[in-house]
Amino acid sequence: MGRQPNLLAFPDVDTLATTLRTYILHAQTAGLHRHQVFKVAVSGGSLPKTLAKALLAKPTSPEDTIKFDKWEIYFADERAVPLDHEDSNYCLLKAELLDKIPAELGKPVVFPIDTDCLDDVQEVADRYEKLLVDKFAARDSVKLPIFDLLLLGCGPDGHTCSLFPGHELLREADAWVMPIEDSPKPPPKRITLTLPVVTHGVKIAFVATGGGKKEIMKEIFEEGNGLPCALVNEGGQERVTWFTDVSAVEGVSFPRRGSL
Ligand SMILES: O=C(O)[C@H](O)[C@@H](O)[C@H](O)[C@H](O)COP(=O)(O)O
């Protein structure tokens, strides 16, 4: 058996958020050590709300400080809509987290999609990839952008980012960012990081809570079935950590449950 992802189950979202904060702080320290900034990619869905719970809590010590002024925030996936549209992941993150960061913690640099070409999703994806080339490759001379941390959700069908089960995008091996025009979850037009980019993150965290995730969690962890989340588990192995609550993993048999 290869090296396993970590599966953590908490009694509720509040306790989950406390450990998620500790985990993010570790990743922040590692990122700052590596290149003086902390490069994070985030998804939409319920994640920004949980993130706000984790990150906006009062620091208990100098080591417990989120250094937002050193953060670069990218989008793991985004919908091809204007930034103030209710479907926009940027808009969601802004409302849930960015607008609530106290001034003394500093402001992250946030990289939304370019909305000048929304009619052409390929162009939106190409421009986002170009941004990543500028922000990552030049500095790190790597063939892939290596995020210090990807913070992802898991859909009830096992999708993550905008990588959906059985979709041809799962086989993309070259591009860093791809368009999708037939997303089964609305809205249909989106862009997404590709699987190789996701699985090459230094750390990859999933947040999945609620009884609605129980069936798919069982399938991801017990069978895999080529589900996007299972593919991230396989590619990222021990660099992947799942933050769940007990109702999301009820009945899931998995050998490695634990703590940070
Ligand atoms: O833009 C999106 O649609 C999201 O990025 C998507 O990948 C999300 O993370 C999952 O659907 C989980 O969503 P929930 O956390 O709301 O279940």
Distance (Å, whole) CA 49 – CA 217 = 21
Give the pLDDT score at 32.
97
Q: How far is the CA of 161 from the centre of ligand 1 (A)?
A: 7
Q: Where are the beta strands (DSSP E) in 56-99?
A: 71-75, 77-79
Please tell me the predicted confidence (pLDDT) of residue 60: 87
Tokens of 134: 């500028």
Assigned architecture for domain 6-248:
3-Layer(aba) Sandwich (3.40)
C-alpha 62 – ligand 1 centre gap (Å): 33
Q: Assign residue 48 a region: left if phi > 0, alpha if psi is -120 to 50, beta otherwise? A: alpha
What b/e string do you get for 28-41 counting C-beta neighbours within 10 Å, with b at 16 or more? beebeeeeebbbbb
Report the separation in Å between the CA atom of 139 and the middle of ligand 1, taken as the mean of its atom positions: 30
**Which protein residue has the closest C-alpha to ligand 1 atom 7?**
161
Pocket of ligand 1 (CB under 6 A): 43-47, 77, 89, 153-155, 159-161, 185
Ligand 1 atom closest to the Cα of residue 47 is 15
- C-alpha 64 – ligand 1 centre gap (Å): 28
Residue 202, burial from CB neighbour count under 10 angstroms (0-12, 13-18, 19+): middle
Choose the residue to mutate in 163, 185, 194 for probing ligand 1, maximizing ligand atoms within 8 Å of C-beta.
Answer: 185
Index of the ligand 1 atom closest to the CA of residue 78: 1
pLDDT of residue 62: 85
Q: If you measure from the C-alpha of residue 108 to the centroid of ligand 1, how many angstroms do you get, rounded to a whole number?
A: 22
Going by CA atoms, what residue is nearest to atom 14 of ligand 1?
Answer: 45
Averaged pLDDT, groups of 10, the chain, 260 residues long: 84 95 97 96 97 93 93 98 98 98 94 97 98 79 89 98 98 96 97 98 97 96 97 97 95 72
Residue ranges per structural domain of the chain: 6-248
For ligand 1, atom 17, name the residue with the nearest CA. 155
The atom of ligand 1 lying closest to the CA of 45 is 16
CA distance 251 to 244: 13
| Residue with token string 């025009």 | 181
Ligand 1 pocket test: which of 160, 245, 247 has the largest number of ligand atoms within 8 Å of its C-beta?
Answer: 160
Ramachandran region, residue 225 (left: φ > 0; alpha: ψ -120 to 50; beta: rest): left
Tell me the C-alpha to C-alpha distance, in Å, between residue 68 and each of 15, 53, 120, 136.
22, 15, 33, 19
Q: Ligand 1 pocket test: which of 73, 154, 207 has the largest number of ligand atoms within 8 Å of its C-beta?
A: 154
Q: Which residue's CA is minimally distant from atom 1 of ligand 1? A: 44
User: What is the pTM (predicted TM-score) of this model?
Assistant: 0.96
